[in-house]
Structure 1
Amino acid sequence: MNALSGEQFVSGEELAKQAGISRTAISKHIDSLEDYGVEIFSVKGKGYKLANPVSLIDEDQLTRSLNNRCFYFNELPSTNAFLLKHVNELASGDICIAEYQSAGRGRRGRSWVSPYGCHLYCSMYWKLEQGMAQASGLSLVVACSLVKVLQNFGIEDLGVKWPNDIYLNNKKLAGVLIEMSGQADSECHLVVGIGINISMSQSQGDKIDQAWSDLSANPSCPGKTELAIALQKQLHQDFSTFELQGLTAFLDRWQQVDVFLGKQVKLLMGDNQIDGICRGIDESGAILLETDEGIKTFVGGEISLRSTS
């Protein structure tokens, strides 16, 4: 992979020599990389090179830098699914990272485009002693954590879209999927999955049904390993604060980056549409809309937010 990361094309013959395999085997490896969503330029007489940079996690640096356990894989169906399968063996703050997810998921069962090595696919485990009821609003905390980490790296023009999408230059940069198991009023296992676009190829981007952004053109773009380390530490800190103070401690942080705050919006709930002005969120994480009937709160599964403009 490193041999293809430079500015110049590399011939199949040279790749075969470096890898100690035949040119036919190189051709098969190139085809398999494309199956994993890695776009490769191939020019007859010149050879190959990556269309977009691919950066892999430095596992040694990752494990040295964090106090929690780090599960790192080249390929997994889903980092969330892996942690959910092992909740009884985990401690709060343990993370799982994969370079490729064959069954990555977003909210509402949508697939998450997960080309190999191009983005950060990370999940973190947390145990809530007071049960699922305590988790209300936690997805908004995750969004605040992500924004703070990226801002600390010098990335600007960030925003959040209720309930937990992260935007860069008004295009989706990252998403969050929280899954739980346990009881409503006793011990609850929580897994927080995060996908951050780092270097999206156009062919992969064409599979996404909304405007997207990535970090590749940003001069402040951090290394993927450094980003993963900073994210785990920020989530650990913010989750500890959330357990003690609830969402109240994060209302100001959310309001500062809410992309729809004060704007005319429409809220879609199944076949119903509610029009109003976004007035932020309440202490439970519900969205506040100023309607003709006054300010109302909305929360729940099939809700999406769209600007009327």
Structure 2
Amino acid sequence: MSGLIRLAELPPRGELCRVGSEILHFREIDSTNAFLLREAAVLADGAVAIAEHQTAGRGRLGRKWIEPRGSSILVSVLLREPADSRRILQATTIACVAACEAIAVAAPDVRPRIRWPNDLAVDGRKLGGVLAESTPLSGGLSRALVIGIGINCLQQAGHFAAELAGRATSLEMSSKDAIDRTRLLDALLRRLDASLALAAEAAESLAAAWRQRCEDIGRPIAVVSGGARVEGIVLEIGLDGALVIRRADGRRQRLDAATTTRVSL
């Protein structure tokens, strides 16, 4: 694997940037998301935690995220949001779009797609994922929103767990170019900052960017919602992650991302 991410080479974030107001770099940590949630009361809005290795990395539904040291982008950002902010619901969409745009900068020959609800994929194989979590802050009028992004960068096929064989990939496996994690991190922080602004000022533009990159639109999907298995064709996905499908009998059904789990067809 490569050396450490070179924070000193990151350009200054500037006064107008929200993401990266403070950047904390760890050689090893349990989880960047868990750290920011624990320290949310004392860290600044826009604080970023980066790790070379996580000992307790996790994805959606508590699934383990395992990666060799120095192989990935493992980054989380802390945002202070009003308790009723729509951005809390839009966080996964915002981060997925930002990650795809950042990858286009660092690995121009890779075309990542978004797989509902929170995965990044290349040629049907998982490249990374997003985990957004929030917790109330003192007084209850605001929440700490933590957006975690993991991207496989330098792994080879033998680095993945046996159950992921043939189902996971990395930028190095997908690109003919050398992958620079520092360059990717810089692009990711910039694009995440831009996507957050876009969500506030031009939500439909963000929705269009999501639809353009989502591999599920027009395809069959199977999920479990409310304890029942549901199958249909994906018609659209809302900015809040809600899934709209057409059932076999022609009915449209809207499924809340928070209470819906994807399963195999």
TM-score in terms of structure 2 length:
0.86
8 Å Cα contact 1:122/1:194 also seen in 2:
yes
* RMSD after superposition: 2.3
Matched, 1:136 2:89: yes
Bigger relative contact order, structure 1 or 2 (CA pairs below 8 A, ≥6 apart):
2
Q: Percentage identity across aligned positions?
A: 25
- The offset of 1:283, in angstroms, is 4.6
Q: Distance in 2 between matches of 1:284 and 1:174?
A: 20
8 Å Cα contact 2:78/2:146 also seen in 1:
yes
2:57 to 97, 101, 104: 104
Matched, 1:295 2:260: no
SS in 2 for 1:88: coil
- The offset of 1:126, in angstroms, is 1.0
SS in 2 for 1:89: coil
Equivalent residue runs for 1:1-309 within 5 Å? 53-62=1-10, 64-67=11-14, 68-131=21-84, 134-153=87-106, 154-182=108-136, 186-209=141-164, 211-217=167-173, 218-246=175-203, 248-269=204-225, 271-291=227-247, 292-305=249-262, 308=265
Give the gaps of 5 or more residues in structure 2. 15-20
Change in Cα spacing, 1:125 to 1:283, as seen in structure 2 (3 Å) is closer
Q: Which moved more, 1:201-210 or 1:95-104?
A: 201-210
8 Å Cα contact 2:30/2:55 also seen in 1:
yes
Q: Distance in 2 between matches of 1:149 and 1:94?
A: 19
Q: Distance in 1 between matches of 2:191 and 2:51?
A: 20
Q: Distance in 2 between matches of 1:56 and 1:185?
A: 38
Runs (4+) off by over 6 Å: none
Q: Distance in 2 between matches of 1:207 and 1:132?
A: 40
The amino acid of 2:40's aligned partner reads V
- The offset of 1:187, in angstroms, is 1.1
8 Å Cα contact 2:157/2:169 also seen in 1:
no
Q: Distance in 2 between matches of 1:186 and 1:306?
A: 36
- The offset of 1:297, in angstroms, is 0.7
Change in Cα spacing, 1:139 to 1:71, as seen in structure 2 (3 Å) is same
- The offset of 1:80, in angstroms, is 1.1
The amino acid of 2:104's aligned partner reads Q
Q: Distance in 2 between matches of 1:161 and 1:175?
A: 9
Q: Distance in 2 between matches of 1:270 and 1:306?
A: 14
The equivalent of 1:12 in structure 2 is: none
The amino acid of 1:54's aligned partner reads S
8 Å Cα contact 1:266/1:273 also seen in 2:
yes
Change in Cα spacing, 1:152 to 1:59, as seen in structure 2 (3 Å) is closer
**Which protein is bigger by CA-based radius of gyration?**
1
SS in 2 for 1:104: coil
- The offset of 1:215, in angstroms, is 0.8
SS in 2 for 1:166: strand
- The offset of 1:69, in angstroms, is 1.3
- The offset of 1:124, in angstroms, is 0.8
Give the gaps of 5 or more residues in structure 1. 1-52
TM-score in terms of structure 1 length:
0.75
Deviations 1:229-249 (A, max 9, x none): 111111112112223444x33
8 Å Cα contact 1:98/1:122 also seen in 2:
yes
- The offset of 1:133, in angstroms, is 5.2
Q: Distance in 1 between matches of 2:177 and 2:159?
A: 23
- The offset of 1:141, in angstroms, is 1.5
Change in Cα spacing, 1:273 to 1:80, as seen in structure 2 (3 Å) is same
The equivalent of 2:17 in structure 1 is: none
SS in 2 for 1:301: helix
Q: Distance in 1 between matches of 2:157 and 2:176?
A: 20
